[in-house]
A and B are shown apart, each in its own frame.
Chain A
Amino acid sequence: MEKVLIAFAAALAIGLSAIATAWAQSRIGAAGAGTLAEKPELSGTIIILLAIPETMVILGFVISTMILLLLE
């Protein structure tokens, strides 16, 4: 049972942060596409902006790895 809870906690940590990242990226992506239509020279900046929310899923990944490897 304990193992199941650990696995569930790890899944929650990565899963929720992945959903949050996906939501943020969808908003940035839509806005970025609109921006590029008007100012194509901003493509580099848009790519960087799009990669910013990925920190959330990276942090989620770190937490879930720590849960799995350190709590077992």
Chain B
Amino acid sequence: MIVKMSKVEIVGPKGLLEEVLSFIRETGILQIEPDTIGFIAKEDEDYIKSFLPDMNAVKERAFLEDMRRKIDDLLNLLPEVTMRESYLEPSKILYDLTKTLDLHLALYSELSLRRGAIREELEELRGYERFLRGIESLIPEATEIPDVELIGITIRDLEAIAQLRIELSDVTRDRFELVTTSLDDGTVVGLISVTEKDVEGVRRILSDERFPEMRFPETFKAYPFPEKIRYIREKTSGLSNELQTIEAELERFACGWRPIYTKVKEWINERFSVLSATAYVFETRMCFIIYGWMPKEKVPELKEKLDSEFSGRVILEEKGMVEEDLERVPIMLRNPPYFKPFELFTRILPLPRYTSYDSTPFIGIFFPIFFGMILGDAGYGLFLAIISVILLRVVRLGRTVRDAVTILLISSGYTIFFGLLYGEFFGELGHRLFGLKPICIERRTAVIPMLYFTISVGIIHILIGLILGFVYALKRKTKSEAIVKFLNIVMILFVLAFVASIFEILPKFFTKPVIIAMLIIIPFLFFLGGILAPLEFLKNIGNIISYVRIMAIGLMSVLLAFTANRLGGLTGDIMLGIIVAGLLHILNIVVGVFSPTIHSLRLHYVEFFGKFIEHGGRRYEPLEKKD
């Protein structure tokens, strides 16, 4: 249901503007209108101007922006901790906090930088240690050669080692040794022992052949090769201790100050939203004027609250709505609990206009039915219902996902119902296991009856749409549109009568009068609805046939379930059969959730709503506190 809205004007002395905006924000029911069309009378346009903030407001804005940026920088440096609630009043400590904020930011930026540098160094040292530990066993062998220089390398391509050996042999005239080993993580490393005078040549080859050399920092040079590991371990331990101290300090600070700075930041954000709202306010020489929209039923309540809060100095007046306002009234939806989750579809698709119908109840009624008709398998329905209940009970879901799961739960109920009508439980498994038989129709074999059934569903749905369109046209007093809608309804009924008489459901003699009646109506359609009106009628017939998708997609689903069971049976092994059939059934369920959803929605938005709902409404976005 689209909630009735009122166009309102709030007027008060300029000095109270910010207080009034804060108050309105607290109540969270007024959508401020930045546009003046329909609000300001022509003769008043010279006196009412957009509100201009004074120098103090500009200064405050700059100050708050700077403070918010600094708080953000500081909070980014601090670790996430379990926060206590801060009971300090931000507005009272704001100016004292500016001084501490600069100090804290300088101090903890430095600490944070040091923490980053230590982490980087530790990472490097761990790499060296890993490498040295890997080649530890090779070192005694290598050090047997006097005046030896050791070069560590990482080997990416094992096949390139042979080529490397040949080239090393050429450069060093066979005075080298290359030993390789694997590290814990699977990396292959090597150690080349060469005499000092051959080092340059060897390095050139390593560079040409793309063997990365493990180069140690200058500080390592003082230590002999085996001593390096001990040095690294000592250095790592020292750095780890320093890192722990810094992290403990940051955590201690975060526990104490994060709640305070977070609260101040929230306060600044709230203040900003009030200051931003002033951009949509108008002023006269003495007063401010706020134009906006709000639910009609809340007008007396807000009027009373403003009156008592500001001792009658701020007045709310409800203004009369004119024709052109109807285009701009924001849309607020309110539906009973059953339909509430279906607002999800209304939210993600274009909103209806204020004068039109809310699409939610229609989707709430027909969507689960179509979904059930398409999927129509008691086993799948049961499976989806269990999943939905688990998700709703066990997992904490956001609003959108929760609504989607609730819709799935409702739809799975209809899936079970239609599954029983079709006699399907994981395809024909129900029949094999416990003799489940179709109550109405077996979809897999009765293709033509299902085709007639879905076309009948289409006829009913489209006729409902046209009748609602007729009523809507009458409400809007567009007589010719109402008559065209009515004639379309009559034409569809005549087509039905014609088909029924051909198939001898109605007596044969009906055929001619029905054709003559249709031929009489067509010129009227031309006359009242223009050249495209008869095409509109053909479009309606196309729309009705489009409902055959309910049968077509359903048939695909039931055949896939049937195939899953057959393939499972063909394996000849119970466990393997269950796995094969189970996987295919899961695939079918996944497809069976998306496909019916998209097609049911399409049937609504293209075929059904096109007959009576005008889209293009504006979202209702009141000035309110954001959680």
Please give the residue numbers on chain A whose beta carbons come within 8 Å of chain B beta carbons, in ascending order. 43-45, 47-48, 51-52, 54-55, 58-59, 61-62, 65, 69-70
Q: 1/0 per residue B521-563: CB within 8 Å of A? A: 0000000000000000000001001101100100000000000
B605 at interface (Cβ–Cβ under 8 A)?
yes
Structural contact, B548 and A48, CB atoms closer than 8 A: no
Which residues of B are at the interface with A, using a C-beta cutoff of 8 A?
A: 345, 348-350, 447-448, 451, 542, 545-546, 548-549, 552, 598-599, 601-602, 605-606
Residues of chain A with a CB closer than 8 A to B448's CB: 65, 69-70
A56 to chain B, nearest CB (A): 10
Residues in B neighbouring A48, C-beta threshold 8 A: 349, 598, 601-602, 605-606
Q: Given A47-B601, A48-B601, A52-B602: A58 and B549 within 8 A (CB)?
A: yes
Query: B349 touching A62 by the CB < 8 A rule?
Result: no
Q: Contact check, B350 vs A51: say whether CB atoms are below 8 A apart.
A: no
A61 touches B602 (CB 8 A): no
The answer to whether A62 touches B451, judged by C-beta atoms less than 8 angstroms apart, is yes
A62 to B348, CA, bound (A): 32
Cβ contact within 8 Å between A51 and B599 = yes
B299 CB to nearest A CB, Å = 30
- The distance from the CB of A59 to the nearest CB of chain B, in whole angstroms, is 6
Total of A-B residue pairs, C-beta within 8 Å: 48
Complex-state Cα separation, A43 to B349, whole angstroms: 8
**Beyond A47-B598, A62-B451, 19 additional pairs, beta carbon < 8 A:** A44-B348, A45-B349, A45-B350, A47-B601, A48-B349, A48-B601, A48-B605, A51-B598, A52-B602, A52-B606, A54-B599, A55-B545, A55-B549, A58-B548, A59-B542, A61-B552, A65-B448, A69-B448, A70-B448
Which residue of the partner chain A has the closest CB to B549?
A: A58
Whether B348 pairs with A43 at a CB distance below 8 angstroms is: yes
Given contacts A47-B598, A48-B605, contact A62 B447 (CB under 8 A): no
Q: Which residues of A contact B549 (CB under 8 A)?
A: 54-55, 58
- Shortest C-beta distance, A53 to chain B (Å), equals 11
Instruction: Report chain A residues within 8 Å CB of B602.
Output: 48, 51-52, 54
Give which listed residue, A43, A52, A62, A69, contacts B548 with CB less than 8 A. A62
> For residue B347, which residue of chain A has the nearest CB?
A44
CA distance A36 to B63 in the complex (A): 37
28 contacts between A and B (CB under 8 A): A44-B348, A45-B349, A47-B598, A48-B349, A48-B598, A48-B601, A48-B602, A48-B605, A48-B606, A51-B599, A51-B602, A54-B549, A54-B602, A55-B542, A55-B546, A58-B545, A58-B546, A58-B549, A59-B542, A59-B545, A59-B548, A61-B552, A62-B545, A62-B548, A65-B451, A69-B447, A69-B448, A70-B448
Q: Sorted from nearest, which 8 A-B pairs have the closest CB atoms?
A: A44-B348, A51-B602, A44-B349, A58-B549, A48-B605, A55-B546, A61-B552, A62-B548
Chain B residues lying within 8 Å of A62, measured Cβ to Cβ, are: 451, 545, 548, 552
Q: Looking across the interface, which residue of chain A has its beta carbon closest to that of B553?
A: A58
Nearest B residue to A51 via CB reads B602
Closest to B556 in A: A61
Query: Would A58 and B601 count as touching, CB distance under 8 A?
Result: no
Docked complex Cα distance between A7 and B447 (Å): 17
B599 surroundings in chain A (CB, below 8 A): 51, 54
Q: Which residue of B lies closest to A41 (CB)?
A: B348
Residue of A nearest to B615 (CB): A45
With a cutoff of 8 Å between Cβ atoms, the chain B residues found around residue A52 in the complex are 602, 606
Q: How far is the CA of A51 from the CA of B596 in the complex (A)?
A: 11
Among residues of B, the one whose C-beta sits closest to the C-beta of A69 is: B448
**How far is it, in angstroms, between the C-alpha of A48 and the C-alpha of B603 when the chains are bound?**
9
How far, in angstroms, from A65 to B552 measured CA to CA in the complex?
10
Name the A residues within 8 Å of B605 (CB-CB): 48
List the A side residues contacting B542 at CB < 8 Å: 55, 59
Contact partners of A51 in chain B: CB under 8 A: 598-599, 601-602, 606
Complex: how many Å from CA A61 to CA B552? Answer: 8
With both beta carbons as reference points, the residue of chain A lying nearest to B594 in the complex is identified as A47
Most chain A CB within a 10 A radius of its CB, from B350, B545, B549, B601 = B549
A32, B399: Cα distance in complex, Å: 26
Cα distance A43–B344 when bound, in Å? 13
Output the nearest chain A residue to B598 by Cβ-Cβ distance.
A51
Query: With contacts A58-B552, A61-B548 known, is A44 near B447, CB below 8 A?
Result: no
Chain A contacts of B548 at CB under 8 A? 58-59, 61-62
Q: How far is the CA of A47 from the CA of B599 in the complex (A)?
A: 10
Instruction: Quote the shortest CB–CB distance from A51 to chain B (angstroms).
Output: 4
Chain B residue with the shortest CB-CB distance to A70? B448
A5, B602: Cα distance in complex, Å: 35
Min distance, Cβ B606 to any Cβ of chain A, angstroms? 6
CA A44 to CA B400, docked complex, whole Å: 14
Q: Which residues of A contact B349 (CB under 8 A)?
A: 44-45, 48
A52 CA / B542 CA spacing, docked (Å): 12
Least CB distance, A19 to chain B, in whole angstroms = 17
Q: Looking at the assembled complex, report how far the CB atom of A68 sits from the nearest CB atom of chain B, in whole angstroms.
A: 9
Give B592 Cβ to nearest chain A Cβ, in Å. 16
> Across the two chains, which residue of chain B brings its CB closest to A65?
B447
> Bound state CA distance, A47 and B447, in angstroms?
28
Q: How far is the CA of A26 from the CA of B48 in the complex (A)?
A: 53
Report the bound CA distance from A61 to B448 in whole Å. Answer: 12
Residue on B nearest A52 in the bound complex, by CB: B606
Question: How far, in angstroms, from A54 to B447 measured CA to CA in the complex?
Answer: 19
Nearest CB of B to A58, in Å: 5
What CA separation (Å) do A48 and B548 show in the bound complex? 17
Q: In the assembled complex, how far is the CB of residue A10 from the closest CB belonging to chain B, in whole angstroms?
A: 12
A61 to B606, CA, bound (A): 20
Q: Which residue of B lies closest to A55 (CB)?
A: B546
